[in-house]
Amino acid sequence: MSENLNEIFTVFMVLFAVIDIVGNIPIIIDLRNKVGHIQSEKASIIAGIIMIVFLFVGESLLGFLGVTVHSFAVAGSFILFFIALEMILGITLYKEDDDDALNASVFPIAFPLIAGPGSLTTLLSLKAEYSWENILVAILLNVLLIYVVLKTSSRIEKMIGPNGIKIIRKIFGVILLAIAVKIFASNLPQLLPK
């Protein structure tokens, strides 16, 4: 039992660090300001479903599509790169559709911010080391935490204030840009012919 709890805690912490929901608060606030409302339940549930499905069929699904985990990660790094540019430069690249709140809840919040290339490739790595039952519990705990952060993002915004948000947004934009570059750089060599 204690071994299972240790595994769950370890996997939870790894996923928590990779998902970085706390670090994504400025992005979430920015998107909420753009679209008016983010459906926290929908974003959390969709992110959870994506991660759970990917845990079980990720590698075979990518293989079936002829896509490697590395090319998947590189594609995701581009999305993170453009979101980071928006945050740093204060420009809008993300095209707003008619049903903005619904779309923002799914893209880019559920995917790729929460269930992105980092968390999905991490899941494949964790599956090699830990039992799928413990990984599943860790995913569900992270989804619950994500829901709480998404639901309270407006309160967090009030505590930090508009200037604090701008500063944090720029800082986390640079961090997100660095993460995007790291994902790109670590996966690109595997795609290049040897």
Domain residue limits at 138: 2-191
Instruction: Give the pLDDT confidence score for residue 86 in this predicted structure.
Output: 82
Instruction: Give the pLDDT confidence score for residue 98 in this predicted structure.
Output: 47
Q: Give 6-51 pLDDT, tens digit per residue.
A: 999 999 988 988 888 877 787 888 788 778 788 899 999 999 999 9
Q: Give 110-129 pLDDT, tens digit per residue.
A: 888 889 877 888 888 788 78
Average pLDDT rounded to a whole number, residues 141-162: 88
Distances (CA, A) of 16 to 12, 36, 46: 6, 27, 17
Question: Please, are residues 45 and 143 in contact by the beta-carbon 8 Å criterion?
Answer: yes
Instruction: Give the pLDDT confidence score for residue 6 in this predicted structure.
Output: 94
∠ Cα 173 73 43 (to 5°): 65
Average pLDDT rounded to a whole number, residues 140-146: 96
> Cβ of 98: how many Cβ atoms within 10 Å?
6
191 pLDDT above the threshold of 60 = yes
Q: How many domains would you assign to the chain? A: 1
Mean of all residue pLDDT scores within the chain: 84
Instruction: Give the pLDDT confidence score for residue 55 in this predicted structure.
Output: 93
* Closest by CA position to 187, among listed 122, 112, 93: 122
Average pLDDT rounded to a whole number, residues 87-100: 66
Instruction: Give the pLDDT confidence score for residue 95 in this predicted structure.
Output: 56
**Global pTM value:** 0.74
Q: Which residue has the higher pLDDT, 53 or 103?
A: 53
